[in-house]
Amino acid sequence: MADRALLRTGALVGLLFMTQSLVGQVAVRVQSSQWEEFPLVKKIGLYQTPLVSRAWLDRDMPKLAELEARSMRYEMACGKDDLYGQPCVLGTAEKPSYSLGDIDYLLTQAQKNCPVLVISHGYTPTILQSRPTEWSGFMDPPTSLDTWATINERFAQEWKNKNYTNSYVEVWNEPDLTDGFFTGTVDDYLNIYEAAAPAVRKGYADIKVGGPSGAFSGWHQSLVDRVKAKNLPLDFLSGHAYGPDYAWQLDAMRNALTRLGRNEAEMLLTEYSPYAPADYQKDGPVEHAEAAMTFFNALPGMLERTDLTHVNWAQYIDPGFYVGDKLGLIDCESGSRKALFNAFKLYGMMPADRCKMTIVDGSVKGMASASADCVAAVMWNTASDEQQLTLTLDEIPFTKGTLEVYHIDEGHNSWYETKKGTLVASRSELVDVADGTIHVEDVVRSRGVCFVRIVADGASDLFPQVKFCKIIRTHQWFPKRTNTASYALFDPKTWTVRLSSNKEASGRALVGIEVQNLPRILNVQGLTNTSVRRRNLNSTLNIRLDYQNKEGEYAKSVLYHGGVYTASRSSLLPWGTKRVPDEVVEVEDLNNFFIDVSAYKPADASGRVLISFEMEAVGTGVKQNFQLTRGSATVVEEVPDAMSGDGCAHPEVIYNLSGQRISCPERGINIIRHPDGSVRKVRVLR
């Protein structure tokens, strides 16, 4: 069937469709300049099993570059010695040895495109099995918890040596699935966790450790109670869900984390598929085009739970050693990209900042997002009837762009039906949008997806990687675990932080990023949906740097704000120095300034800095974005009649013409006082 017509203000810009009977009609309007909850952040990552071969990894790991996934989970499967990377623990219980090369290869390949790794430490290595000659021996509790702890410490040291930063370790995999992965009791698992978690922390202090990676929800509370009783490390709870409903698992983890009382603790859904086992078999729905629709249909509930930091979709490559299971994004036999892969790719092609979408009539659902260079909308049809689509993209922020239309349905971009896996646009052409509006007439086919995107003429890489330092780990803050709470989201690829007060007038959105090897100058660019005003003494919008000394303690801090800050505020930072800032700098424009990282750095600084972004008590519905990039060298010219002294020392204090102390020279006139008492005036040209 020919593609439907693309119309802009009555002018034909596409090919006309052949006439056919259409059952439903739907009108969709996107208002690109109006931000809405919740952002389309790329927290939907992937899960890879050890049911692969090295040849498949070589063939398919490079395809991760096509997706905007931020995390990859890998299940090590110790003790299942017939699988990839096993046996990785050799020797004896008294003197274990290790062979981690294959696992390191997989993790290193994954990390090239997925900066966050989730590594499952399980199961019982053969040297600790009570039934080493039986295949199911891996399911038994280890015969020596001391050796189990030693093994976990050694694994963690390996991850540290391989520079797997900003990552997670799960202790075991689905121990509550006692007929599949564990023969012990809940107390047996708690003993396993109690031995492993401190050992992981000892081996790699910066990696996050948690569990129980539950198939069900009954063991979360038991783990929390043991952690509280023994004061054990627990940076996150993790669980799994298969089938369309995942809320039960997330609600159970939320309740357990609330009881834990650690606001930094995270929630991870480390295995998820909307299909139950009966539907992810060979030739089942998961292989068909409709899997793309099911993918998009699952996203809104995940996005609105902003305390859900990562989701790992099951699975990346088909688990080929189990011939019946075909729930991967990639067909294991041919390496072909399935419809589900292409749905992931389309989602990655959407900007993160969600904008207003209004849908009138029909069975179509959708989401839209926009940036300065791109407006995108995805619509999916949950019904068995085709829906004729009239789409209006309004308030487009550029005057000319390339309009692209993609479909995923039985006739398009679904390998199972068409044997063509590579994503191909139905239409792509340059169009004029001088009035900021374009109209598209198309169709969303039965249980299919229609994706429309317009990209500004001349725009190239829409989501470039920003890399200027080493990210050690992130610090989250969840004082309220609800869908209406304030939140802070950090994207490690683009170095973008998104703060929102959501529905909390006095809520606190806070995130910290612990880093090493910062450049001297950081460029800060921001964007907000409204003016930010002070409502009470705790009201603030700020960026703060805490500096670690060579003894490993955070000893000094500086806070930058644009006018919304009170020195007497009672809210303290839960990390860093955990006290009021040592220095406070008010900048003229918090959405456009430079930070001189060296300006307040203590003499005994270790090189590690904790950068925090905070918004508190600013009213409901306030959204603020910040992006950090490496700052360029400042170009100055002297103002000769204002110089005194020899002017040869390094600057100590910098002021603008209003007499305000600033961190580094800003565009315009700056007054610089040197340690020798000399003062000079410079004009910053750029």
The percentage of the chain sitting over the pLDDT mark of 70, rounded to a whole number, equals 91
pLDDT tops 50 at residue 651: no
pLDDT tops 90 at residue 255: yes
Cβ–Cβ < 8 Å for 273, 215? no
Mean pLDDT of 322-349: 92
Cα separation, 455 vs 223, whole angstroms:
48
User: Among residues 659, 545, 543, which one has the least CA distance to residue 598?
Assistant: 545
Q: Bigger pLDDT: 650 or 340? A: 340
> For the range 319-324, what are the long-range contacts, defined as Cβ-Cβ under 8 Å and sequence gap of 24 or more?
319/49, 319/51, 319/52, 320/51, 320/52, 320/53, 320/56, 321/51, 321/83, 322/51, 323/282, 324/281, 324/282
pLDDT tops 90 at residue 68: yes
Mean pLDDT of 581-600: 95
pLDDT tops 90 at residue 14: no
Cα separation, 310 vs 289, whole angstroms:
25
Cα separation, 529 vs 543, whole angstroms:
18
Helix axes 220-230, 247-260, angle to 10 degrees: 20
Q: What secondary structure letter does DSSP report for 482?
A: S
Q: Name the token pair of 55.
A: 């040849």
Work out the angle at residue 285's Cα, subtended by the Cα atoms of residues 281 and 286, and round it to the nearest 5 degrees.
70
Q: Name the token pair of 587.
A: 């900048």
Cα separation, 234 vs 226, whole angstroms:
10
Mean pLDDT of 307-319: 96
Q: What secondary structure letter does DSSP report for 295?
A: H
670 — pLDDT class (breaks 50, 70, 90) = confident
- Which element (helix H / strand E) includes 161? helix 145-161
User: Among residues 269, 333, 270, 330, which one has the least CA distance to residue 302?
Assistant: 269
Q: How many residues does the chain have?
A: 686
Q: Name the token pair of 186.
A: 């809940």
pLDDT tops 70 at residue 553: yes
pLDDT at 672: 81
Question: What residue type is 460 in one-letter code?
Answer: S
Exposure string over 304-338, b if 16+ CB within 10 A, otherwise e? ebbbbbbbbbbbbbbbbeeeebbbbbbbbeeebbb
pLDDT tops 90 at residue 501: yes
Mean pLDDT of 574-590: 96
Cα separation, 660 vs 654, whole angstroms:
8
pLDDT at 636: 47
Cβ–Cβ < 8 Å for 566, 539? yes
318 — pLDDT class (breaks 50, 70, 90) = very high
The model's pLDDT over 194-223, given as tens digits with 9 standing for 90+, comes to 999 999 999 999 999 999 999 999 999 999
pLDDT tops 70 at residue 686: no
The percentage of the chain sitting over the pLDDT mark of 90, rounded to a whole number, equals 85
Helix residue ranges, H only, 305-432: 339-348, 415-418
Cα separation, 549 vs 512, whole angstroms:
18
pLDDT at 648: 34
pLDDT tops 90 at residue 646: no
User: What are the residues whose beta carbons fall under 8 Å from the beta carbon of 603, sequence distance 6 or more?
Assistant: none
174-178, 327-331, 671-675: least confidently modelled range: 671-675
The model's pLDDT over 504-538, given as tens digits with 9 standing for 90+, comes to 999 999 999 999 999 999 999 999 999 999 999 99
252-256, 271-275, 663-667: least confidently modelled range: 663-667
Cβ–Cβ < 8 Å for 168, 119? yes
pLDDT tops 50 at residue 637: no
Cα separation, 488 vs 356, whole angstroms:
20
pLDDT at 13: 35
Mean pLDDT of 448-457: 98
Q: Is 392 exposed, middle or buried (0-12, 13-18, 19+ CB in 10 A)?
A: middle
Cβ–Cβ < 8 Å for 567, 579? no
pLDDT tops 60 at residue 459: yes
Cβ–Cβ < 8 Å for 447, 290? yes
Instruction: Output the furthest CA–CA distance in the chain (Å, rounded).
Output: 88
Q: Bigger pLDDT: 176 or 682? A: 176
Mean pLDDT of 336-349: 98
Cβ–Cβ < 8 Å for 474, 511? yes
Cα separation, 500 vs 486, whole angstroms:
6
Sheet containing 400-408, strands listed edge to edge, beginning at the edge strand earlier in sequence: 364-370, 374-381, 449-456, 400-408, 427-432
pLDDT at 449: 98
Cα separation, 581 vs 65, whole angstroms:
41
Sheet containing 623-630, strands listed edge to edge, beginning at the edge strand earlier in sequence: 487-491, 496-500, 623-630, 521-528, 592-596
Q: Which residue has the tokens 């406070």?
A: 584
Cα separation, 685 vs 669, whole angstroms:
9
The model's pLDDT over 86-109, given as tens digits with 9 standing for 90+, comes to 999 999 999 999 999 999 999 999
The model's pLDDT over 139-165, given as tens digits with 9 standing for 90+, comes to 999 999 999 999 999 999 999 999 999
Mean pLDDT of 623-631: 97
Mean pLDDT of the chain: 91
Cα separation, 385 vs 447, whole angstroms:
8
Mean pLDDT of 338-359: 98
The model's pLDDT over 593-622, given as tens digits with 9 standing for 90+, comes to 999 999 999 999 999 999 999 999 999 999
295-304, 319-328, 404-413, 630-639: least confidently modelled range: 630-639
pTM of the full predicted structure?
0.90
User: What are the residues whose beta carbons fall under 8 Å from the beta carbon of 562, sequence distance 6 or more?
Assistant: 532, 541, 586, 587, 588, 589, 590, 591
pLDDT tops 70 at residue 64: yes
175-189, 276-290, 434-448: least confidently modelled range: 276-290
pLDDT at 642: 40
Mean pLDDT of 62-76: 97
683 — pLDDT class (breaks 50, 70, 90) = low
Work out the angle at residue 384's Cα, subtended by the Cα atoms of residues 380 and 386, and round it to the nearest 5 degrees.
65
Cα separation, 534 vs 525, whole angstroms:
21
Q: Is 216 exposed, middle or buried (0-12, 13-18, 19+ CB in 10 A)?
A: middle
pLDDT at 322: 61
682 — pLDDT class (breaks 50, 70, 90) = low
Helix axes 145-161, 186-203, angle to 10 degrees: 40
Work out the angle at residue 322's Cα, subtended by the Cα atoms of residues 325 and 213, and round it to the nearest 5 degrees.
75
